[in-house]
Amino acid sequence: MENINNIFSSKNTIHTISDDERKQTGNYLEVIKAFSRTIYTGIYVIDYQKNKFEYVSENPLFLCGHTAEEVKEMGIRFYFKNVPQPDLDLILEINSVGFNFYNEIALKERKCYTLSCDFNLKMCLNQIWI
């Protein structure tokens, strides 16, 4: 038990959480930002209602020489600019068959699924990368 108390360090003892402090949990992007600080992969969030990228992480893997803010502003146009034509067609097909599959899933199971695919991106120096 002594060890357990040591892990929950006295330097970080918290007695109560105020209502204002609790409001932070409503900002789900904070969770995604925390993930992006700890893992090497790029993360971005698509908002289908606004047809925009809501968040783009700073990992350079996905940015093709742009800043995260620029990619966020570009949104869907990012694909058209940085994906070579054959793979752009592929992405459109993936999008279409992906949603066909998704729409067949029972409502309460829809969040259990993940779609994975690979496509090329044009790097700033005209390289092709995956």
Partner 1 sequence: MPQPDLDLILEINSVGFNFYNEIALKERKCYTLSCDFHLKNQEGEIILINQKITPLFLTDDGKIWKAICIVSLSSERYSGNIKIYKRGGAGVFKYDLECGIWNFTEKLKLSRREKEVLGFSIRGFTINEVARVMNVSPDTVKFHRKKIYRKLGVANISEAIVFATNNKLI
Residues contributing to the site for partner 1 (CB under 8 A): 3, 6-7, 9, 11-14, 17-18, 20-21, 24-25, 30-31, 33-35, 37-40, 58-59, 61, 125, 127, 129-130
Q: Of 122, 37, 15, whose CA–CA distance to 78 is shortest?
A: 122
- Residue 76 three-state SS: coil
Find the shortest distance in angstroms from Cβ 69 to partner 1: 13
Find the shortest distance in angstroms from Cβ 100 to partner 1: 29
Find the shortest distance in angstroms from Cβ 2 to partner 1: 10
Q: Rg of the chain's alpha carbons, rounded to an integer?
A: 20
CA 37 and chain centroid, separation: 12
